[in-house]
Structure 1
Amino acid sequence: MSVPPPPEPITGARLLFSLDPAVSHLNHGSFGAVPIIAQRAQQRLRDEMEADPLRFFTQGLADRITHARRHLAGFLGADPDGTALTMNATTGVAVVLQSLCLRPGDEVLTTDHGYGAVDLSVFRECRRTGATHRVLRVPLSATNEEIVQIVRSGLRPGRTRLLVVDQLTSATARLFPVAAIVGVAREHGISVLVDAAHAPGMLPATVQSIGADFWVGNLHKWGYAPRGTAVLTVAPQWQERIEPLVVSWEQAAGFPGRMEWQATADYTAWLSAPAGLYTLRTLGVDRVRAHNAALAAYGQRVVGDALGVPPADLPDPGGPTVAMRIIPLPAGLATTIEAARALRARIAERLATQVAVMSWDGRGWLRLCGQVYNSPDEYDRLAVRLPTLLAQG
């Protein structure tokens, strides 16, 4: 079966970023890439802050943060008054876990597709409170119906306090049916936290349509915002119980103000985030989503073919807008986190290509992303050179 053709490039998109042209950046999902227009907007804000710090922090900053939050929440289909800006999805998860006031006998339920730092946060909070962390195994080939049934069977009403589920998984690039999962959990009175780190900008589903108790997503990946921009959306019944990790002067303001005001933090990323969304909208949101997903699919097939992986063994994320794909690596490679990191570094150094290498379910996986600044020939070059590098051990 032949490799499908790549999508038509979006003319001029590469020039919107300041990425090193000597490197193939095929891992947008890890740290994103900030368009030049958003970089300049943030620098202007930093110049303003440094010109008169006291004025910047004491005259209208809270209102400017609120304005930025409302802009971002509107794009995501989230309630602006039930949404707080935060640094990243992992921070949002930590805030929720701390605010639950877990006790011995309580349980936090996750899946084996969860993000590693989130698992560490759950482990720490359970150790601190005496609660239990239990992990559901979800096969990579499971259908949406099978995933919902696995979750349904795994819930323990009266004991499971929180279910944490990814909207789009980092390690496996798998799209989860989060709205259906939330519905199942609600039948049993169990709260759900959706880790949507990769959703903003990539996926079309709105936050309110999912209906989770908690939803946290990064804008600095697929939303083109400066790094350190994420949102935590909280259902009304939980908002007064949400406590920030650090108490500051807006503590009495309630949610979201008490969470957003973190003293002398650098708020310029949040304030310039709308410039990132402006870039996305200018290019065309649907156009970018379709392009990126098609390019990631092309990269998966061409590199998979080069590694001898049959098309049937290339995981399909199950969605037309998923711009991340994974490829199984040869047996014995990157089977641990340490080995995966080492292989990623070798690929970067020797092939001048940035990719993600994951260790999941006892084997190594290569994750490729598609973005408007990428071109098909970058995946073609990787396909030609990667087999030799991997054969060297």
Structure 2
Amino acid sequence: MDIEDFSLDPSIAHLNHGSFGAVPCRVRDRQDELRREAERNPDLFVSTLFDRVAKARTEVAEFLGGDPDGTAFVANVTEGVAVALHSVPLGPGDQILMCDHAYGAVDIAVRHTARRTGAEVVTVTLPGQYDGEWSGEDAARAFLDAVTPRTRVAVFDHITSNTARLFPVERMCEELSAAGVVTVVDGAHAPGMLDLDLNRIGADFYTGNLHKWVFTPHSAGVLAVSPEWRDRVVPLIPSFFLDDGFPRSLEMQGTRDHTAWLAAPHGVRLLTDLGARKVRERNASLAARGQEILAEIPGLTPWRADPELSMRILRLPEGMATGYDEAEELSAEIYHRLHCRVGIKPWPRAGLLRISAQVYNREKDYERLAAGLPAILN
């Protein structure tokens, strides 16, 4: 596939796929067909939703190695994490573990839950925060060492968003569960980027986005729930379907636009037709090459990378983009001057530059960025 197979502007080097993904034209066309169908006969369309959403959910869950009866569609990981935290009884004295590499919206959800319930947030600080030399095993050990008799929930990433690192989630779920801790995994980037087996991972709650790496429309995500928690899931919005239980109580809400979910299997099939393993390996290799090209620029320091991931990190020069506003300004300048889209993440002491690789990217995209970036950094 090339950039012409997407609706992306071909004059821009799109190197930030990890933020919002991109919808292939053939999947977008299928969603448009579904929307037209809904507008032609709304009553008939809504009357078919139960079965059609269930069928789509089954196909997606099986692709992810999950149980269709234990999987629900959600809009995104932000919703999935919020539902999980809303469903676990918490009170004063309880502790919620969270990582200092957590995604911003997850951080907000955890702290909102703490304020609502009186629970305490315990932030797990990973070693090597500045140089990125920590490993997944270091992360697992830091979480496990932070568990106390008051620890009730642990919220952690499968792949960190800001720092593009891989956690050993299967081991973490097993050991945290053995300690009596409820596990909530932010798998925003994992579906499509990794060969997932949700049943093997064994999280109490695992939520992932499909619009990033599975070629689905936006507002398509999943929440997989372990058998012991399914009857205790509490939707954020109670509706007519509240008594139907999980997963329908989460999915069916009046005039919600369900077409992204109904079109999701078409993204799965496209990825399967291309060869999911081939796509994953190709993207990871290209992201590594992109990091090598950019590492030649004075002042950029490549961070340690997990080789199977399609994202890479380089640390910016000391003192640059350490705050959100500065990071946004640098990102905008790179776009306006170079017509390149990258992720600039604020980080202590020096911000981070995150690049992604997807099927529409070529080595020349990273070369374009590398050619113009030194002038901006200087």
Is residue 2:226 matched to residue 1:273?
A: no
Q: In 2, distance between residues paired with 1:294 and 1:338?
A: 32
**Structure-to-structure mapping, 1:11-160, within 5 angstroms:** 12-57=1-46, 59-139=47-127, 140-157=132-149, 159-160=150-151
For 2:242, which of 237, 251, 255 is the aligned residue?
Answer: 251
Q: In 1, distance between residues paired with 2:54 and 2:5?
A: 27
Q: In 1, distance between residues paired with 2:309 and 2:80?
A: 23
Q: In 2, distance between residues paired with 1:260 and 1:150?
A: 36
| Matched letter for residue 361 of structure 1 | P
Q: In 2, distance between residues paired with 1:107 and 1:190?
A: 10
CA contact (8 A) 1:112 1:137 kept: yes
DSSP 3-state at the match of 1:281: helix
CA contact (8 A) 2:321 2:347 kept: no
CA contact (8 A) 2:160 2:166 kept: yes
Cα drift, residue 308 of structure 1: 4.3
Cα drift, residue 315 of structure 1: 1.8
Cα drift, residue 304 of structure 1: 1.6
DSSP 3-state at the match of 2:170: helix
Question: Aligned residue for 2:314?
Answer: 327
Cα drift, residue 151 of structure 1: 1.5
DSSP 3-state at the match of 2:351: strand
Cα drift, residue 54 of structure 1: 1.7
Report sequence identity in percent: 45
Superposition TM-score, scaled by structure 2 size: 0.97
Superposition TM-score, scaled by structure 1 size: 0.93
| Matched letter for residue 112 of structure 1 | D
Instruction: Give 5+ residue unaligned stretches, structure 2.
Output: none
CA contact (8 A) 1:336 1:362 kept: no
Q: In 2, distance between residues paired with 1:217 and 1:35?
A: 19
Q: In 2, distance between residues paired with 1:45 and 1:145?
A: 45
DSSP 3-state at the match of 2:143: helix
| Matched letter for residue 121 of structure 2 | H
Cα drift, residue 230 of structure 1: 0.3
CA contact (8 A) 1:33 1:221 kept: yes
1:337-356 Cα shifts (integer Å, max 9, x gaps) = 12111111111111111110
Give aligned pairs, total. 374
Cα drift, residue 182 of structure 1: 1.1
CA contact (8 A) 2:330 2:344 kept: yes
For 2:187, which of 196, 202, 218 is the aligned residue?
Answer: 196
Is residue 2:296 matched to residue 1:305?
A: yes
1:204-244 Cα shifts (integer Å, max 9, x gaps) = 13111111111000000001100000000001111111111
**Structure-to-structure mapping, 1:296-375, within 5 angstroms:** 296-309=287-300, 313-318=301-306, 320-375=307-362
| Matched letter for residue 282 of structure 1 | D
DSSP 3-state at the match of 1:145: helix
Q: In 1, distance between residues paired with 2:159 and 2:348?
A: 17
CA contact (8 A) 1:340 1:357 kept: yes
DSSP 3-state at the match of 2:231: helix
For 2:218, which of 222, 227, 241 is the aligned residue?
Answer: 227
Cα drift, residue 292 of structure 1: 0.5
CA-based RMSD? 1.1
DSSP 3-state at the match of 1:201: coil
Q: In 2, distance between residues paired with 1:195 and 1:144?
A: 15
Cα drift, residue 180 of structure 1: 1.1
